[in-house]
Amino acid sequence: MKVSVEELSSTRRRLQVEVPPERVRETLEEIYRDLRRRVRVKGFRAGRAPLDLIKSLYRDYAYQEAVSKLIEETLPKALEEGSVQPLLTSQVEPGSLSPSTPFSYQAIVEVKPQVDLKGYKGLKLKVKRAEKVKEEEVEAELERMRDYAAKMQPVEDRDQVVEGDWVLLDFEAFLEGRPVRDGRVENHLLEVGSGTLVPGLEEGLVGTRVGEEREIPVKMPEDHPREDLAGREVAFKAKVKEIRRKVLPAIDDEFAKDMGYKDLEALRTKVKEELQRRRQEEERLALRQAALEALLEANPVETPPTLVANRAKELLQRLRERSGPSFPEEKEEELLEQCRKIAERETKVAFLVEEIAKREGIEVSEEEIGQRLTERGTPEPLKADEALRSQVKGDLLREKVFDLLVQEAEVEYVD
């Protein structure tokens, strides 16, 4: 077998492979013998038809099978002979097949680019400094916790809705007298005046009595996501089932105990520590992001086009699955291009991280993978899943590499 390799770019190689005619004949004969055993020819018992008859009847099929088999069997050896380590094979062009002449084909494969690291230590980073948590921020967080712990109590001294009430209601939308698809909602808890529903609907509830069904005409916004409703007048039939008021607890020692703390001072301390921890985590992530941008700017990397295209399609498919019926088909090409840019960036980062890890001897142990899976609350049966462990290993390796980049960087903090 003869193999020649041509470098098309830093990420693409063209292999020209020539298979000797004796190998071609052996492959064809093997296929014909297998056909003779398997196929039934009229007038002959299975396996008894003359081989020459099998060759005349199934020549085209045998030649197609021989081409596929020769490529499948010789391409891995050709890559090995040519010292090519492919990421994927993007194209194979077979030549014509004849038992009396060599069979030739060419394969274009994509390979990892040669990453020439020009600089990853001493990166100049500029990030916002994590500020100290102020007392008013602690108070705001306590208010948020207080609001979360609030209880809803029925309003018994009146039966008419006013702005600011919480109401439990059913409503249904009608367009030109017909029910709107997916337009019926039951037992919806709403704060009247919060602006969570379409403009005009909440205002129309003011003055409604418990048990009363009221029709509220609403002009839908021009930019409403439902094209069949945008800009049109929709009638909502709403029925208030109950009026409630939110009762907030006092922020005191009893409140702190309900939250699981000794007293209010202990709760304040914990809230402040948690807010400060979040600030520090935001700073750490900002440093990593700044390191990523600086690394990419200092180290241009060519990416394998087919690898990037395949990843972009995968990202678009995930977006389609998450969006469901609301996926904007008319913007598919635009979204695919955005996915391609994301995939290209992902690929560049992966190559750079791999090369830095290799140079610095950074590794991830099986124990570290197991610990991260435990931290994530992964069920025991899933911890042995190879794909999941590989993903976690990649995450940990990136974290270690970017921790190194930040540690070795020149950081300028700004207020």
Q: How many residues in total does the chain contain?
A: 415
Cβ 70 vs Cβ 23: under 8 Å: yes
pTM: 0.71
Per-domain residue ranges of the chain: 2-111, 151-247, 278-414
Q: What's the pLDDT tens digit per position in 159-215?
A: 999 999 999 999 999 999 999 998 999 999 999 999 999 999 999 999 999 999 999
Q: What's the pLDDT tens digit per position in 311-335?
A: 999 999 999 999 888 888 888 999 9
Predicted local confidence at residue 118, as pLDDT: 84
Topology given in CATH for the domain delimited by 278-414: Trigger factor, domain 2 (1.10.3120)
Architecture of the domain made up of 2-111: 2-Layer Sandwich (3.30)
Cβ 171 vs Cβ 238: under 8 Å: yes
Query: One fold for both 151-247 and 278-414?
Result: no
List 191's β-bridge partners, or say none.
166
Cα–Cα distance between 193 and 203 in angstroms, integer?
Answer: 7
Cβ 265 vs Cβ 169: under 8 Å: no
Cα–Cα distance between 223 and 229 in angstroms, integer?
Answer: 10
CATH number belonging to the domain at 151-247, selected among 3.40.220.10, 3.40.50.300, 3.10.50.40, 3.40.50.1260: 3.10.50.40
Nearest partner of 311 among 351, 340, 345, judged by Cα: 340
Predicted local confidence at residue 36, as pLDDT: 87
Mean pLDDT in order along the chain per 10 residues (415 residues): 93 96 95 88 80 89 96 95 90 94 96 89 92 95 94 92 94 94 93 92 94 94 88 95 93 94 96 95 94 94 93 95 87 95 95 95 95 93 93 95 95 87
Dihedral sign from CA coordinates of 324, 390, 85, 304: positive
CB neighbour burial string for 257-274, b if at least 16 within 10 angstroms, e if fewer: eebebeebeebbeebbee
